[in-house]
Chains A and B, each alone.
Chain A
Amino acid sequence: MNEKNKASSSWAIEARGVTKLFGDRHALRGIDLRVSRGEHLVIFGPNGAGKTTLVKILSTLVKPSSGSVWLDGINIRDKPVQIRRKISLVSHQTFLYDDLTVYENLKFYGKMYDVPNLEQQIHEVISWVQLESRINDRVGTLSHGLQQRASIARAVLHNPSILFLDEPEVGLDPHASNMIRDMLGSINAGNRTVVMTTHNLERGLELGDSIVILDRGKIVYQTPRSELSKANFQYIYDRYTEIGK
């Protein structure tokens, strides 16, 4: 293999020159990104910046127009099925079936991921998201906040080493949003790598070890969280995104 096409296996996520075109419109322009194992990366950006497209490419849902992505040192083009065992995605859409119960949804996804000790694992994650009393209720009867908790249970059921969170708080009321934030804060068990996109600067800063600002398909700002103060982040965000231009 060409040296240029090799990835270092020390990174949980490595993207090189990732570009995505929809027709003649550039959604992403040459994204280079490295995320260490166990790191929490938060991606900020205004609407249309390319955050969701980037997460979809990293999670193998969409193929990049050019460039390469490695997860745990494996090129996602070469072994997508193997990669999907290691990852999971929570978005504002839950991926759950309204007419199945919470338990049936988890059983379905658990079987698809071939999760060992599935019954025990289902009860563990249900307990963690505090949905024991609603486990036999149909998902369609739950509030959006409870559905999102069930969705988080679905996402961690197979114990992924890399978790993508694409604006998981969208559409939630403040109480549900706080609960989800607390869950996401404790999701790091087992040194899990987390990549999260959000509009909420304050929440993002609370959860992130490192920060990226994406604007019009390009990474315009990148820094470790430790080098950033809460007070001046709004100024930096406005300055680096089209809001400030």
Chain B
Amino acid sequence: MNKLFIRILVIFWKDMLTELRTKEVITSVLVFALLVLVIFNFAFGMRADGMEFVAPGILWVALTFGGVLGFNRIFAVEKENSRLEGLMLCPVDRAVIYWGKLAGGFTFMLAVAIVITPIFLALFNLPLFLPKLALIIVLAIIGFAAVGTLFSAVAVNTRARDIMLPILFLPVVVPVVIAAVKATVPVLAGKSWGDILTWLQIMIAFDIIYLVVATLVFEFVLEE
């Protein structure tokens, strides 16, 4: 168990080091997400009335579609120079590769969210300190990373991988996106934990389902 964990960390370390040097994923996702926020900010202006109902959709459009961009690169980098074959030759279960790549994808998305969420809150004149929103973002990104990592591996072996990933990814993560949007509305309106509990439970349930199913099917995805 300990050795499995170390190898997951080794893959994660490799992805972090590569990303720190290239900044390919974080830069593209960040620029895209910021553009979405700015465009919607211009479209809706700074109207105070009803903003808490519109703003959640804007945040989650930015994170969801930014995620599609980011997850496209997760396995694309392994396809170049046949590095995926190098990984597949390593004496580890395929699930270790999945969890290592998932850890990287989760971290990239979390880094993007840490940057854009305060900008989003400032642009839409909302309170900056929202721990409930932080939890919603973490739970949603776990779901995104679980599905995005799996489908990134599927899409990378197709010719139209840039188109394939959103087609596969978006319908499957819809429950998490809906739950995240629905949970964000009461949070921005200053409601209590009790008002978002159901949505948090839904996100946790879907995260678990995604993680378990993706771990089980990843071997077949990689080898077929």
Are the CB atoms of A113 and B22 closer together than 8 Å?
Answer: no
- A114–B81 CB distance below 8 A: no
B31 within 8 A of A: no
A108 and B14 contacting across the interface, CB-CB below 8 Å: yes
A111–B100 CA distance with the chains assembled, in angstroms: 13
A109 within 8 Å of B by Cβ? yes
A112 with B18: in contact, given A95-B81, A95-B82 (CB under 8 Å)? no
Known contacts A62-B223, A100-B14; is-contact A109 B83 (Cβ 8 Å): no
Which of B17, B88, B93 is in CB contact (< 8 Å) with A100? B17
Give the distance to chain B from A122, nearest Cβ to Cβ, in Å.
14
Q: Which of B89-110 touch A at CB < 8 Å?
A: 89-93
Would A81 and B7 be within 8 Å (CB), given that A95-B86, A97-B14 are in contact? no
Report yes or no: A82 in contact with B91, Cβ–Cβ below 8 A.
yes
User: A112 to B92, Cβ gap below 8 A?
Assistant: yes
Q: Are B18 and A100 in contact (CB under 8 A)?
A: yes
Q: Mark A196-239, 1 if CB is under 8 A from B, else 0.
A: 00000000000000000000000000000000000000000000
Known: A95-B81, A99-B22. Is A111-B10 also a contact (CB below 8 A)? yes
Q: Give chain A residues whose Cβ lies under 8 Å from the Cβ of B83.
A: 95-97
Q: What is the predominant secondary structure among interface residues of chain B facing chain A?
A: helix
A89 within 8 Å of B (CB atoms): yes
Tell me the count of chain A residues lying within 8 A, CB to CB, of chain B. 29
A98 at the interface (CB under 8 A from B): yes
A62-B223, A111-B7, A112-B7 given; A95·B85 CB < 8 A? yes
Q: Which residue from B17, B82, B88 sits with its C-beta under 8 Å from A93?
A: B82
Q: Which residues of A contact B86 (CB under 8 A)?
A: 95-96, 109, 154
Q: A93-130, CB under 8 A of B: which get 1 and which 0?
A: 11111111000100011011110000000000000000
Complex: chain B residue closest to A91, CB-CB: B82
Residue of B nearest to A59 (CB): B89
B89 to A85, Cβ gap below 8 A? no
What residues of chain A lie closer than 8 Å to B18, measured between beta carbons?
97, 99-100
Chain B contact patch, size range: 20 to 34
Within 8 A of A (CB), among B1-51: 3, 6-7, 10-11, 13-14, 17-18, 21-22
A181 at the binding interface (Cβ < 8 Å): no
The chain A residue with its CB closest to the CB of B84 is: A95
A84 at the B interface (CB under 8 A) = yes
CB contacts (< 8 Å) of A96 on chain B: these are 81, 83, 86
Chain A residues, CB < 8 A from B90: 84, 109, 112-113
CB distance from B140 to the nearest CB of A (A): 29
Contacts of A95 in B (CB 8 A): 81-83, 85-86, 89
State how many angstroms separate the Cβ of A56 from the closest Cβ of chain B.
8
* Pair A114/B85 contact, Cβ less than 8 Å: no
Q: Mark A157-172, 1 if CB is under 8 A from B, else 0.
A: 0000000000000000
- Interface residues, chain B, CB within 8 Å of chain A? 3, 6-7, 10-11, 13-14, 17-18, 21-22, 80-83, 85-93, 223
Seen from chain A, the residues whose Cβ lies within 8 Å of a Cβ on chain B are 59-63, 81-82, 84-85, 87-89, 91, 93-100, 104, 108-109, 111-114, 154
Subset of 16 A-B contacts with CB under 8 Å: A59-B89, A60-B88, A61-B85, A63-B223, A84-B89, A84-B90, A88-B89, A91-B85, A93-B85, A95-B83, A95-B85, A96-B86, A97-B18, A99-B22, A100-B14, A112-B90
